[in-house]
A = this chain, B = another copy of it.
């Protein structure tokens, strides 16, 4: 194959192969109505010329790009990496390309990225994590391509989505603590503004306590920002309290790790003095000492299922439901004493 110094088009291939451009188009698109011999001639010409189909022209002519846009709220968050992997595997399976766009957890940038993707005429859109506001929905509406939310949902649950039951996940996590005999359970929460993740997890915490007849104390709840440092900060605060909590439920693993280190740095032991549990199950959870007991989100599956859902939507297949809730699972490790 030669180098394509100047662009070689479908016309060049046609001339080289002694056929019409329509025929070249057919073989490139795997249209069966081509005599095997002709097909061979064309392939040879393609090879000889180093022809590379122009996806832009194809997209314009066919009004399909076979690519789906994925907006990642925060590329440095490892959760999304795993979800992306699930998305990719299924996308490849259905011959879609995926293009990732990072949005740095900025709403304004998310909207911009959605618009860029739509301008690029993606055939579908996957929106990962983050808060879905009216503005997002507006942006989605300006186009007619299907959108599915993965790892989050919109407030009115009107859009197709794939997620876990965050409230139930939190509820289950706190119950592990309660079952272990804990009565003084603090929570490091995410922002309560986020209905899908933040608020739901907080609700799960409250409901678990209430179900066990344990009073909910305001001073046992701190709002963090999902980062390590904020886990440290919240935990320092908890450790000063009287009575000091004997267990901490963190809204995500990263803050939980901050909690563990803070507890240890303060001369206490995990889980003996303070137990820690959280939600996510990122890779790092098994890379702390003690290893972190946490509620695992099926990240890969969330990605895979939402991509599969999207293919159906793009294909206009009939669907009985477009809101799927995947199961979560408690991973018992060593930051909570085994009962």
Binding site for B on A (CB under 8 A): 1, 3-5, 50, 52-57, 59-60, 65, 67, 75-76, 78, 81-82, 84-85, 88, 97-102, 104, 115-116, 118-121, 141-144, 228, 257-258, 261, 264-265, 283-284, 287, 289
**Complex interface: chain B residues within 8 A of A4 (CB):** 142-144
**Complex interface: chain B residues within 8 A of A84 (CB):** 75, 102
**Complex interface: chain B residues within 8 A of A85 (CB):** 75-76, 102, 104
**Complex interface: chain B residues within 8 A of A104 (CB):** 85, 88
Whole-angstrom distance between the Cβ of A225 and the nearest chain B Cβ? 14
Closest partner residue, chain B, to A67 (CB atom): B120
Closest partner residue, chain B, to A121 (CB atom): B56
**Complex interface: chain B residues within 8 A of A100 (CB):** 75, 99-102
Closest partner residue, chain B, to A118 (CB atom): B52
Can you name 22 A-B residue pairings with CB atoms under 8 Å?
A1-B142, A3-B141, A53-B119, A54-B119, A54-B121, A55-B121, A56-B59, A56-B120, A57-B60, A75-B81, A76-B78, A78-B78, A85-B104, A88-B102, A97-B116, A97-B120, A99-B100, A99-B101, A100-B101, A228-B287, A258-B287, A261-B287
This protein's copies in its complex: 2
4 further interface pairs, Cβ-Cβ under 8 Å (given A52-B118, A56-B121) = A50-B142, A56-B56, A85-B102, A284-B287
**Complex interface: chain B residues within 8 A of A119 (CB):** 52-55
Q: State the CA gap A75–B104 with chains docked (Å).
A: 15
Q: State the CA gap A4–B121 with chains docked (Å).
A: 13
* Cβ–Cβ contact B228 & A3, under 8 A: no
Q: A76-B85, A287-B228 given as contacts; is B52 within 8 A of A60 (CB)?
A: no
In order of increasing CB-CB distance, the 9 nearest A-B pairs are A76-B81, A99-B99, A100-B100, A55-B119, A56-B59, A55-B120, A75-B81, A56-B121, A56-B60
Q: State the CA gap A119–B143 with chains docked (Å).
A: 24
Whole-angstrom distance between the Cβ of A173 and the nearest chain B Cβ? 21
Whole-angstrom distance between the Cβ of A51 and the nearest chain B Cβ? 10
Q: State the CA gap A55–B53 with chains docked (Å).
A: 18
**Complex interface: chain B residues within 8 A of A65 (CB):** 56
**Complex interface: chain B residues within 8 A of A5 (CB):** 144
* Cβ–Cβ contact A261 & B284, under 8 A: no
